[in-house]
A and B are shown apart, each in its own frame.
Chain A
Amino acid sequence: EKMASKISVVLRPVKSIVVRFCPFEPNVESTRKFLQCIFHKKIQATNRNCEVTADVRHDGSEPLVDVMFADGDRLIMKGANLTTVEMLTALGSRCNAKDLKEEQKSKKSP
């Protein structure tokens, strides 16, 4: 629980995040925790333009996290068998990689 709030994710390269889950299913805990961590002050402060939407359904579908990046990439994480920490680290690593790429690009072309 404490681990999950300590992982800092820089959301600058992210355009939008859609978290879809079905609250009456038993396998949604990690996805809900992920949603809770995304709304943390620090992570929200890194990017105010990022739209986080929660899609609550009742059709027995699997919990899903759909991340749209600013450069058109898409990351889909099926949270049924993933832990919160895994999802956060995956997202964090990809965001950092994209950030580095952008910095390099901006350095190359002044």
Chain B
Amino acid sequence: AVTAKMAALSGGKGWLRGWLPALQLLRRGSKAVTRHWKAMHFQRQKLLAVTEYLPPRPAVPPRCLPAHRDHPQEEDGYVRLLRRQVEQVFRSSRMVAVCQYNSMPDEDVVTMRYYLRKHNIEVKFVLNEIVRPVLAQSKYRNLLPLFVCRNILLVSPETRAREMLRVLKGIPQVNLLGACIDDTILSRQGVENFARLPSLEASQGQTVGALALLPSQTSSLLQRGPSLLTALLDEHIRRLRDTGAPGEPPQEQGT
């Protein structure tokens, strides 16, 4: 009886009595599938309420059981790759400068990259969560407090601090925080001092010059005594020649 009634509900009121389809009177005036929201028939509502899904409840509620500790998440392959890249960067470059990056218009970023590339400096955007573990295990532990908020790394196999500072002075949105040049951690002040130093060749030349100054004087030092003596004797000869007898000079010449 229920199924017959359900069938009657779907079409109109007349199926039980065998009415012709043309004479069907639809009491409610709208079909089963409407574009507007149609209220469910009360019997259908009751049916759905009775047959609602109730998930099975466990005998012991899960919050009474000992807490299931989350397994440490497996390291992502991508994260591992990025970490390896960072390690490689630190190993291969002599100069690594850490700067804070505040949002810049894109074309400015491209221009900055271009100007730094001219001096063989590469710009790398890094994520703190990747760099921090790498630094913690390597010898650059003291650079750890620098890596907060967005940062970029300027890496280069040469140490051209002067040009880098000049480029960065024209960009207010990138602030140099510190650098690691030739395994020496420098602050911003240190980088500026480093830039003011003369180049390696010039300082080498100066050192060699300073060291070679004394040896160059050795020969003249050694010769000073005998040369003084010769000068004195010459002076003496001249005086004797001017004043006195011709017999003495040949004797002086012999000594």
Contact residues in B for A29 (Cβ distance below 8 Å): 148-149
Contact residues in B for A38 (Cβ distance below 8 Å): 102
Q: Which of A20-28, A67-75, A98-106 contacts B (4 or more CB under 8 A)?
A: A20-28
Q: How long is the Cα–Cα vector from A53 to B190 in the complex, in angstroms?
A: 20
Q: How long is the Cα–Cα vector from A19 to B146 in the complex, in angstroms?
A: 16
Contact residues in B for A54 (Cβ distance below 8 Å): 100, 172, 175
Q: Say what secondary structure dominates the interface of chain A.
A: mixed
Q: How long is the Cα–Cα vector from A103 to B100 in the complex, in angstroms?
A: 37
Does the CB pair B102–A39 fall under 8 Å? yes
Highest count of chain A CB atoms <10 Å: which of B142, B148, B189, B190: B148
Does the CB pair A32–B149 fall under 8 Å? yes
Q: How far is the CB of B109 from chain A (nearest CB, A)?
A: 13
Q: How long is the Cα–Cα vector from A24 to B105 in the complex, in angstroms?
A: 28
Q: Is B176 an interface residue (CB 8 A)?
A: yes
Does the CB pair A35–B100 fall under 8 Å? yes
Q: Is B187 an interface residue (CB 8 A)?
A: yes
Does the CB pair B149–A24 fall under 8 Å? no
By beta carbon, the residue of chain A nearest B187 is: A58
Does the CB pair B178–A23 fall under 8 Å? yes
Does the CB pair A36–B172 fall under 8 Å? no
Q: Is B93 an interface residue (CB 8 A)?
A: no
Q: Assess A52 versus B150: contact at CB under 8 Å? Given A36-B100, A39-B102, A39-B103.
A: no
Q: How long is the Cα–Cα vector from A57 to B191 in the complex, in angstroms?
A: 12
Q: Assess A28 versus B148: contact at CB under 8 Å? Given A39-B173, A52-B172, A58-B188.
A: yes
Q: How long is the Cα–Cα vector from A28 to B189 in the complex, in angstroms?
A: 18
- Pick the contact of A23 from B104, B173, B177 — CB < 8 Å? B177
How many residues of A are in contact with the other chain, CB < 8 A? 20
Q: How far is the CB of A109 from chain B (nearest CB, A)?
A: 36
Q: Assess A36 versus B146: contact at CB under 8 Å? Given A56-B175, A56-B177.
A: no
Contact with A along B168-181 (1 / 0, CB 8 A): 00001101111000
Q: How long is the Cα–Cα vector from A29 to B189 in the complex, in angstroms?
A: 21
Q: Assess A36 versus B102: contact at CB under 8 Å? Given A24-B178, A56-B175.
A: yes
Q: How far is the CB of B75 from chain A (nearest CB, A)?
A: 24
Q: How far is the CB of A59 from chain B (nearest CB, A)?
A: 9
Q: How far is the CB of B144 from chain A (nearest CB, A)?
A: 10
Q: How long is the Cα–Cα vector from A78 to B124 in the complex, in angstroms?
A: 32
Q: How far is the CB of A22 from chain B (nearest CB, A)?
A: 9
Highest count of chain B CB atoms <10 Å: which of A35, A40, A54: A54
Using a CB-CB cutoff of 8 Å, which residues 100-155 of chain B contact chain A?
A: 100, 102-105, 142, 145-146, 148-150
Q: Is A33 an interface residue (CB 8 A)?
A: yes
Q: How far is the CB of B10 from chain A (nearest CB, A)?
A: 51
Does the CB pair A56–B176 fall under 8 Å? yes
By beta carbon, the residue of chain B nearest A51 is: B172
Q: Assess A23 versus B103: contact at CB under 8 Å? Given A53-B172, A56-B176, A58-B188.
A: no
Known: A28-B148, A36-B103, A58-B188. 9 other contacts (CB 8 A): A23-B100, A23-B187, A24-B187, A32-B149, A35-B100, A35-B102, A36-B149, A39-B173, A54-B175
Interface residues of A (CB under 8 A from B): 23-26, 28-29, 32-33, 35-36, 38-41, 52-54, 56-58
